[in-house]
Amino acid sequence: MTRRVGVIVNPIAGMGGRVGLKGTDGPDLLHRALERGAVPVAAERARRALARLAERAPAELEVVEVPTPGSAAQTRAAAAALAAAGVDLILFAGGDGTARDVSAAADSRVPILGIPAGVKMHSACFGATPEAAGEAAAAYLRDPGPHALTEAEIADAAEPADTELRRSAYRSGRQIDAAPDRAPLSTVLHGVALVPRAPGCRLGPKAASAGGGDGALEAACARVAAEVDPAALTLFGPGTTTARIERALGLEPSLRGVDAARDGRLVARDATEAELLALLAGATAGAGATAETPAAPGAPPAAHLVLGVVGGQGSLLGRGNQPLSPAVLRRVDRSRITVVADRRKLLALDPPQLRVDTGDPDLDHDLSGHVRVRVAARETLMCAVTS
Amino acid sequence: MSAFEPTRPLPRFHGAKWDEPVVMEMGRPGRRGQLLPQVEDDLAPLEELVPAGLRREQAPALPELSEFEVQRHYLHLSQMTLGMMGINLFGTCTMKYNARVNEHVTARPELAEVHPAQPVETLQGVLQLVHDFERFACELSGMARFVFQPGGGADAAYTHACVTRAWLAARGELEQRTEVITTIQTHPCNAATAAAAGFDVITLPLGPDGYPTIESLRAALSERTAALMIGNPDDMGIYNPDVREWVELVHEAGGLAFYDSATFNGVMSRVRASELGFDACMYMLHKTFGAPKGGGGPAVGAYGCSEELVPFLPRPLVTRDEEGRYGLEQVEDAPQSIGKVREFWGNVPVVVKAYAWVRALGAKGIRDAADLSVLANNYMDTRLAQVRGVQQTNPGVDKPRLEMTRWSLEQVREETGVDVHDISNRMVDFGVDAPWLAHEPWITPEPITPEPGELWSKEDVDTWIDVLAHVIEEAYADPELVRTAPHNHAIAQVDPSGIDDPRQWATTWRSHLKKRAAAGEEGPVGARSAGGVGVGAPEAGS
A contact set with B (CB within 8 A): 343-344, 346-347, 352, 369-370, 372, 375-376, 378-384
Domain final position from B357, B385, B415: B357
Chain A residues near residue B205 by CB distance under 8 angstroms: 346-347, 352, 381-384
Task: Answer yes or no: is B196 within a domain.
Answer: yes
Give the lowest-confidence range in A280-289, B82-91, B345-354. Answer: A280-289
Residues 6+ apart with CB under 8 A from A147: none
Phi, psi at B147, each rounded to 5°: -125, 140
Confidence of residue A256 (pLDDT cuts 50, 70, 90): confident
Confidence of residue A184 (pLDDT cuts 50, 70, 90): very low
* Other CB atoms within 10 Å distance of the CB of residue B296: 7
pLDDT over 90 at B290, yes or no: yes
- Identify whether residues B50 and B114 lie together within a single domain: no
Q: Residue A208's pLDDT is what?
A: 36
CA A151, CA A146: separation in Å to the nearest integer? 11
Confidence of residue A174 (pLDDT cuts 50, 70, 90): very low
Chain B residues near residue A383 by CB distance under 8 angstroms: 205
pLDDT tens digits for range B127-181: 999 999 999 999 999 999 999 999 999 999 999 999 999 999 999 999 999 999 9
CA distance A354 to chain B (A): 12
- Identify whether residues B282 and B322 lie together within a single domain: yes
- Identify whether residues B151 and B285 lie together within a single domain: yes
Residues 6+ apart with CB under 8 A from B82: B15, B428, B486, B489, B490, B491
Chain A residues near residue B180 by CB distance under 8 angstroms: none
Would you list the domain boundaries of chain A? 3-196, 215-386
Q: Residue A79's pLDDT is what?
A: 93
Give the lowest-confidence range in A337-351, B261-275, B524-538. Answer: B524-538
> Could A378 and B201 be called an inter-chain contact, meaning their C-beta atoms sit closer than 8 Å?
yes
Average pLDDT of span A128-143: 86
Give the lowest-confidence range in B82-91, B103-112, B282-291, B378-387. Answer: B82-91
Nearest to B220 among A344, A347, A382 (CB): A382
pLDDT over 80 at B524, yes or no: no
CA distance A369 to chain B (A): 8
Confidence of residue B379 (pLDDT cuts 50, 70, 90): very high
Confidence of residue A39 (pLDDT cuts 50, 70, 90): confident
CA B141, CA B209: separation in Å to the nearest integer? 26
Q: Residue B523's pLDDT is what?
A: 40
Cis peptide before A297 (omega within 30 of 0): no
> Could A378 and B195 be called an inter-chain contact, meaning their C-beta atoms sit closer than 8 Å?
yes
Choose between A227 and B503: higher pLDDT. A227
pLDDT tens digits for range B186-204: 999 999 999 999 999 999 9
Chain A residues near residue B204 by CB distance under 8 angstroms: 382
CA distance B417 to chain A (A): 15
Task: Report chain B's mean pLDDT, rounded to a whole number.
Answer: 91
Q: Residue A131's pLDDT is what?
A: 83
Confidence of residue A295 (pLDDT cuts 50, 70, 90): low
- Identify whether residues B200 and B273 lie together within a single domain: yes
- Identify whether residues B310 and B234 lie together within a single domain: yes
> Could A344 and B441 be called an inter-chain contact, meaning their C-beta atoms sit closer than 8 Å?
yes
Confidence of residue A32 (pLDDT cuts 50, 70, 90): confident
pLDDT tens digits for range A53-93: 998 887 788 888 777 667 888 899 999 999 999 999 999 99
Q: Residue B12's pLDDT is what?
A: 93
> Could B200 and A380 be called an inter-chain contact, meaning their C-beta atoms sit closer than 8 Å?
yes
Confidence of residue B422 (pLDDT cuts 50, 70, 90): very high
* Other CB atoms within 10 Å distance of the CB of residue A223: 18
Average pLDDT of span B90-98: 91
> Could B216 and A382 be called an inter-chain contact, meaning their C-beta atoms sit closer than 8 Å?
yes
Q: Residue B528's pLDDT is what?
A: 40
pLDDT over 90 at A365, yes or no: yes
Interface test with chain B among A346, A372, A378, by most B beta carbons within 10 Å: A378
**Which CATH fold topology does A3-196 show?**
Rossmann fold (3.40.50)
Interface test with chain B among A382, A383, A385, A386, by most B beta carbons within 10 Å: A382
pLDDT over 50 at A175, yes or no: no
* Other CB atoms within 10 Å distance of the CB of residue B363: 12
Nearest to B202 among A344, A369, A380 (CB): A380
Average pLDDT of span A159-166: 44
pLDDT over 90 at A200, yes or no: no
B207, closest residue in chain A (CA to CA): A352
Q: Residue B494's pLDDT is what?
A: 82
CA distance A27 to chain B (A): 43
Chain B residues near residue A215 by CB distance under 8 angstroms: none
pLDDT over 80 at B456, yes or no: yes
A220, closest residue in chain B (CA to CA): B200
Nearest to A343 among B202, B204, B441 (CB): B441
Task: Answer yes or no: is B414 within a domain.
Answer: no
Confidence of residue B41 (pLDDT cuts 50, 70, 90): confident
Percentage, residues of chain A above pLDDT 70: 81
A368, closest residue in chain B (CA to CA): B219
Average pLDDT of span B386-404: 92
Give the lowest-confidence range in B17-26, B241-250, B521-530. Answer: B521-530
CA distance A347 to chain B (A): 6
Parallel, antiparallel, or unpaired: how do β-strands A234-236 and A304-307 relate?
A: parallel
- Identify whether residues B127 and B70 lie together within a single domain: no
Q: Residue A168's pLDDT is what?
A: 43
Q: Residue B171's pLDDT is what?
A: 98
CA distance B203 to chain A (A): 5
Confidence of residue B539 (pLDDT cuts 50, 70, 90): very low
Q: Residue A166's pLDDT is what?
A: 42
* Other CB atoms within 10 Å distance of the CB of residue B460: 17
Interface test with chain A among B190, B199, B200, by most A beta carbons within 10 Å: B200
CA B32, CA A127: separation in Å to the nearest integer? 78
Residues 6+ apart with CB under 8 A from B79: B15, B16, B18
Buried b (16+ CB within 10 A) or exposed e, B98-114: ebeebeebbeeeebeee
Contact B223, B252 (CB under 8 A): no
Rg (C-alpha) for chain A, rounded Å, is 21
Nearest to B202 among A343, A344, A382 (CB): A382
Selection from A41-45, A159-163, A177-181, B295-299 with the highest mean pLDDT: A41-45
The CB-side HSE value for A49 (13 A sphere, CA atoms) comes to: 33
CA A255, CA A239: separation in Å to the nearest integer? 5
Average pLDDT of span A335-362: 86
- Identify whether residues B75 and B125 lie together within a single domain: no
- E-state strands within B184-236: 200-204, 225-231
Confidence of residue B355 (pLDDT cuts 50, 70, 90): very high
Average pLDDT of span B86-115: 93
Q: Residue A41's pLDDT is what?
A: 84
Structurally, how many domains does chain B consist of?
A: 3
Q: Measured between CB atoms, does B195 come within 8 Å of chain A?
A: yes
pLDDT over 70 at B261, yes or no: yes
- Identify whether residues B203 and B55 lie together within a single domain: no
Percentage, residues of chain B above pLDDT 90: 79
Q: Residue B18's pLDDT is what?
A: 93
Q: Residue A287's pLDDT is what?
A: 44
- Identify whether residues B63 and B196 lie together within a single domain: no
Task: Answer yes or no: is B137 within a domain.
Answer: yes
Name B31's bridge partners. Answer: none
Q: Residue B417's pLDDT is what?
A: 84
Choose between B140 and B47: higher pLDDT. B140
Nearest to B216 among A344, A376, A384 (CB): A384
CA B309, CA B311: separation in Å to the nearest integer? 6
Q: Residue B531's pLDDT is what?
A: 38
Q: Residue B1's pLDDT is what?
A: 59
- Identify whether residues B147 and B264 lie together within a single domain: yes
> Could B219 and A378 be called an inter-chain contact, meaning their C-beta atoms sit closer than 8 Å?
no
Q: Residue A305's pLDDT is what?
A: 97
Nearest to B219 among A352, A369, A379 (CB): A369
Helix axes B188-196, B153-171, angle to 10 degrees: 40
Rg (C-alpha) for chain B, rounded Å, is 27
Q: Residue A234's pLDDT is what?
A: 97
Contact B285, B302 (CB under 8 A): yes
ipTM metric? 0.84
What is the identity of the amino acid at A364?
D
pLDDT over 70 at A320, yes or no: no
B219, closest residue in chain A (CA to CA): A370
A382, closest residue in chain B (CA to CA): B204
Task: Report chain A's mean pLDDT, rounded to a whole number.
Answer: 80
Confidence of residue A154 (pLDDT cuts 50, 70, 90): confident
Average pLDDT of span B410-428: 91
B520-527, Cβ contacts within 8 angstroms, sequence gap of 24 or more: B525/B498, B525/B501, B526/B498, B526/B501, B527/B503
Query: A-B interface: how many C-beta pairs under 8 angstroms?
Result: 52
Q: Residue A284's pLDDT is what?
A: 55
Nearest to B203 among A344, A382, A384 (CB): A382
Domain that holds residue B60: 23-79
Phi, psi at B443, each rounded to 5°: -95, -5
Nearest to A382 among B191, B199, B219 (CB): B219
Q: Measured between CB atoms, does B199 come within 8 Å of chain A?
A: yes
- Identify whether residues B51 and B151 lie together within a single domain: no
Nearest to A370 among B184, B201, B216 (CB): B216
Percentage, residues of chain A above pLDDT 90: 38
B204, closest residue in chain A (CA to CA): A382
Nearest to A352 among B191, B205, B219 (CB): B205
